[in-house]
Structure 1
Amino acid sequence: MKINWGTGMVLALVGFICFIMFFVIKMNIDKKYEHDLVTEDYYQQELKVQGNMEKEQNGNSLAQNIRWKQTNEGILVTFPDSLDISEITGKVFLYRPSDKQFDFEMPISLSNQNLLIPDNRLLGGRWNLIIDWDYEGKSYRFKKEITY
Structure 2
Amino acid sequence: MNWGYKIAISFVIFIGIIVTMVVISMNQDISLVSADYYEQELAYQDQIDRMERTRKLEKQPEIILDRNSGVITIDVFDSTVDSGEILFFRPSDASMDKRVSFPASGKLNIAVNDWEQGLWKVKLSWSVAGDDFYLEEIVNL
Shared fold by TM > 0.5? yes
Q: Match for residue 131 of structure 1? A: 124
Q: Name the aligned partner's letter for residue 74 of structure 2.
A: V
Q: 2:30 aligns with which of 35, 39, 43?
A: 35
C-alpha deviation, 1:69, in angstroms? 2.1
Q: 1:95 aligns with which of 69, 89, 95?
A: 89
Where has structure 1 moved over 3 Å in runs of 4 or more? Answer: none
1:115 paired to 2:108: yes
Q: 1:106 aligns with which of 80, 100, 110?
A: 100
Q: Match for residue 3 of structure 2? A: 5
Q: Name the aligned partner's letter for residue 53 of structure 1.
A: I
Tell me: CA distance 1:121–1:60, structure 2 relative to 1, closer, same or farther (3 Å): farther
Q: CA RMSD in A?
A: 2.1
Q: Is the helix fraction higher in 1 or 2?
A: 1
Tell me: CA distance 1:19–1:123, structure 2 relative to 1, closer, same or farther (3 Å): same
Kindly report which structure 2 residues correspond to 1:36-115, keeping only aligned pairs within 5 A, or say none: 36-72=31-67, 73-80=70-77, 83-84=78-79, 87-109=81-103, 114-115=107-108
Kindly report which structure 2 residues correspond to 1:6-21, keeping only aligned pairs within 5 A, or say none: 6-21=4-19
- Once residues 120 and 88 of structure 1 are traced to their aligned partners in structure 2, the CA distance between those partners, rounded to angstroms, is 29
Which consecutive residues of structure 2, in runs of 5 or more, have no partner in the other structure?
none
Q: Name the aligned partner's letter for residue 74 of structure 1.
A: V
Percent of aligned pairs sharing the same letter: 24
C-alpha deviation, 1:130, in angstroms? 1.1
How many pairs does the alignment contain?
Answer: 139
Q: What's the TM-score, normalizing by structure 1?
A: 0.80
C-alpha deviation, 1:136, in angstroms? 2.5
- The answer to whether the 8 Å contact 1:92/1:105 transfers is yes
Deviations 1:27-59 (A, max 9, x none): 322xxx413101111121112211111111111
